[in-house]
Structure 1
Amino acid sequence: MSSNRSKGSGPRKGGAKRNENNRIYANPLPLLLEDSSSSRVRSVLGLVGLSLTRVSTPHCEGYFDPHTRSVWICERNDSMLLWRRGFFGKGDLSRSEPSWLARKLNDRKARQGKYLTSEEIREKRRADRRQFKLDRAAAIAAVAAEAEEIFEKEGRVIVPALSGPEIPSGATWRPATPLPETEAARNDSEEKRENEEETLEDVEHLQLTLFEAFFLSWTLDCLDILHPETDEPMTLRETWMAFQHAHLAPPIPDLPTPELQLDNPFLVHYVAYHHYRSLGWVVKGGIKFCVDYLLYKKGPVFTHAEFAIVVCPVYEDPADQEISTTNLQNASPFGWHWLSTINRVNSQVMKTLILTYVTIPARSRLSTTVLSSPACLGEYSVREVIVRRFIPARMRD
Structure 2
Amino acid sequence: MGPRWKGKGAEAKALADPMSKIVSQLQSSLIQTEAHGLLSGCNVLVAVDVELTDLLNRACFGRPIVTAEKDKQWFQLSMEEAFYLCYSLKCLRIVGEEHCTKNNEDLWQYMKSKKAVFPYSYKAFLHLRLKNWVVRSGLQYGVDFVAYRHHPAFVHSEYAVLFLSEGDDNLSGRLRVWSDLHCTVRLCGSVAKTLLILNINRNGHDASSPSCLEQYTIEERTIARWNPEQCREDQKIPENGIK
- TM above 0.5, yes or no, is yes
Which structure shows the bigger proportion of residues in strand conformation?
2
- The CA deviation at 1:71 is 0.7
- The CA deviation at 1:22 is 6.7
Selected match of 2:38 from 48, 63, 70: 63
1:247 and 2:115 are equivalent in the alignment:
yes
The separation in 1 between residues aligned to 2:43 and 2:201, in whole angstroms, is: 25
Q: Secondary structure of 1:218's partner?
A: helix
1:80 and 2:54 are equivalent in the alignment:
yes
Q: Percent identity of the aligned residues? A: 25
Q: Secondary structure of 2:176's partner?
A: coil
1:235 and 2:235 are equivalent in the alignment:
no
Q: One-letter code of the match for 2:74? A: H
1:62-115 Cα deviation digits (max 9, x unpaired): 1111x2x1111232433432222x2111234xxxxxxx69xxxxxxxxxxxxxx
Which structure shows the bigger proportion of residues in helix conformation?
1
Q: One-letter code of the match for 2:107? A: T
1:328 and 2:165 are equivalent in the alignment:
no
The separation in 1 between residues aligned to 2:29 and 2:75, in whole angstroms, is: 19
- The CA deviation at 1:395 is 4.5
Alignment of 1:215-364 (within 5 A): 215-230=84-99, 232-248=100-116, 265-315=117-167, 321=168, 327-331=169-173, 334-362=176-204
* Structure whose alpha-carbon radius of gyration is higher: 1
- The CA deviation at 1:307 is 1.1
The separation in 2 between residues aligned to 1:200 and 1:298, in whole angstroms, is: 32
Q: Contact 1:30–1:57 (CA<8 Å) still a contact in 2?
A: no
The separation in 2 between residues aligned to 1:205 and 1:396, in whole angstroms, is: 55
- The CA deviation at 1:338 is 1.1
1:214-271 Cα deviation digits (max 9, x unpaired): 11111111211122332x33222322222222224xxxxxxxxxxxxxxxx1101111
Q: Secondary structure of 2:155's partner?
A: coil
Greater relative contact order structure (CA < 8 Å, 6+ sep): 2
> RMSD of the alignment, in Å?
3.1
The separation in 1 between residues aligned to 2:170 and 2:47, in whole angstroms, is: 32
The separation in 2 between residues aligned to 1:26 and 1:211, in whole angstroms, is: 18
Q: Which residue of 2 aligns with 1:31?
A: 24
The separation in 2 between residues aligned to 1:204 and 1:336, in whole angstroms, is: 46
Number of residue equivalences: 223
The separation in 1 between residues aligned to 2:140 and 2:48, in whole angstroms, is: 28
- The CA deviation at 1:291 is 1.0
The separation in 2 between residues aligned to 1:378 and 1:24, in whole angstroms, is: 30
